[in-house]
Amino acid sequence: MRVIKKYVAPALFLGLLFSSIIAPAHAQGAEALSGANTAWILTATALVLFMTMPGLALFYGGLVGSRNVVSVLMHCFAICCMASVLWLVCTYSLAFGDGGPLNAYVGGLGKAFLAGVGIDSSSGDIPETVFFMFQMTFAIITPALIVGAYVERIKFSAVMLFSLIWSILVYAPVAHWVWGGGWLGAMGVQDFAGGLVVHMTCGVSALVLASVLGRRSGFPNEIQRPHNPGLVMIGAAMLWVGWYGFNAGSALAADGNAGMAMTVTHISAATAALTWMLIEWVGHGKPTLVGIATGAIAGLATITPASGYVGPVGALFIGVAAGVVCFYMCGVVKNMLNIDDSLDVFAVHGVGGALGTLLTAFFGAASLGGLGHSEKTIGSQFSIQLTGVIATLVWSAVLTFIIVKIVQALVGLRSSSEEETEGLDIVTHGERGYEL
């Protein structure tokens, strides 16, 4: 008994000493994840998914003719499902995985099917599964935005095949360049929530696809007007609310930066909407509901890359620029380039994303009311931003053209003229949006 006490007492003492050292370390590890930040990104994830379904679906659905509304809703819904599965299979890994010697350009497949990612895996101070889901919603809405370029005349099989290949070859690499440790991020490109990654990739690709696909019958003077401006406004309002998750969520924290991102997002959207309305009112005599809603989307797209870097005054100027530039670019694309980008994806998202990316260099500077996150001069930061715009434009255009030609050879692109006349709702899906 005396021998047992001789050895047990020191053992208990050492055990207590060891636990006093290890326990705090374990507690610190457990506290490394922020409950507040995790809760906010969970909420932001739901908001961004809300942008695609139902926001974007209703926005685009209201803009087309009544005999094609079901096809647009189907495009948005099916792309959401396809992009979600693809994100699990490979595109998350390509965007945010380690690409080894090619890491400057694309990630590897080490995280395909979420290999090695469990409930204890973290990305910063949030669970990696939450980061995975948040970024998935960006990968969903980006190919869905392209829907606006080809409505009322494309085969459904072409939509699905194009969106699948495009997500792998265009979206994932550019996301890696900017956010996944790639060359643009290393260079210092500032794209807070997707001016390059989301809006420029989809906008440029939309223009290329619309050009190859060809114009709708009767374009540009005999195209049916938006069949339901009310749906357009409701969809735009849902997009506006969801955009808070898009931009403020990209802070990846429930902090002041997220609060400022939300503030400037709202200011830019409201300013651009009013600017678009005034131009339309003065130039065409009547302010339209479709016009003010489209202006708000232009303001939201343009502030996206700048939202984590600019202040309220910068957002005001960016909103005015978005309203003016995007409004007139709609006419340039349709009337001067004679390209039937049906719902103005390039003019609103492509041009807006590029404009916002470039203006970030100016209004992100502390001297102009920005948050001053860059230690570079305005000129040097502008040069970096311009490099990002050019690289994204060239990559998106070239790869999209190749993908479109592949899809065209495999399944074809265009519906027949008879199918377009009857409407894709009943021809492709056997359903009608309205039974009148």
Residue 25 has pLDDT above 70, yes or no: no
Measured CA to CA, the distance from residue 105 to residue 95 in angstroms comes to 10
Measured CA to CA, the distance from residue 370 to residue 303 in angstroms comes to 13
Residue 26 has pLDDT above 70, yes or no: no
Q: Give me the pLDDT at residue 10, please.
A: 45
Q: How confident is the model at residue 3 (pLDDT cuts 50, 70, 90)?
A: very low
Interior angle at CA 346, CA 343 and CA 347, nearest 5: 85
pTM of the model: 0.92
Q: In b/e form, how buried is each residue of 51-61, taking b as 16+ CB within 10 angstroms?
A: bbbbbbbbbbb
Interior angle at CA 215, CA 213 and CA 219, nearest 5: 170
Find out whether 245 and 45 touch, Cβ atoms under 8 Å.
yes
The SS3 call for residue 168 is helix
Tokens linked to 432? 């009608």
Q: What percent of the chain is predicted at pLDDT more than 70?
A: 93
> Among candidates 256, 342, 232, 242, which has minimal Cα distance to 300?
242
Q: Give me the pLDDT at residue 373, please.
A: 82
Find out whether 41 and 130 touch, Cβ atoms under 8 Å.
yes
Residue 81 has pLDDT above 90, yes or no: yes
Q: Give me the pLDDT at residue 74, please.
A: 98
Q: Give me the pLDDT at residue 193, please.
A: 98
Q: How confident is the model at residue 220 (pLDDT cuts 50, 70, 90)?
A: confident
Q: What percent of the chain is predicted at pLDDT more than 90?
A: 89
Q: How confident is the model at residue 218 (pLDDT cuts 50, 70, 90)?
A: confident
DSSP output for 314-371: HHHHHHHHHHHHHHHHHHIIIIIS----TT-HIIIIIHHHHHHHHHHHHHTSGGGTS-
For residue range 150-193, what is the model confidence (pLDDT) as tens digits?
A: 999 999 999 999 999 999 999 999 999 999 999 999 999 999 99
Q: Which residue has better confidence, 86 or 4?
A: 86
Task: Report the residue count for the chain.
Answer: 436
Phi/psi of residue 354, nearest 5 degrees: -65, -45
What mean pLDDT is reported for the chain?
92
Q: Give me the pLDDT at residue 22, please.
A: 32
Measured CA to CA, the distance from residue 434 to residue 61 in angstroms comes to 12
Domains and CATH numbers, the chain: 36-429 (1.10.3430.10)
Q: Give me the pLDDT at residue 223, please.
A: 80
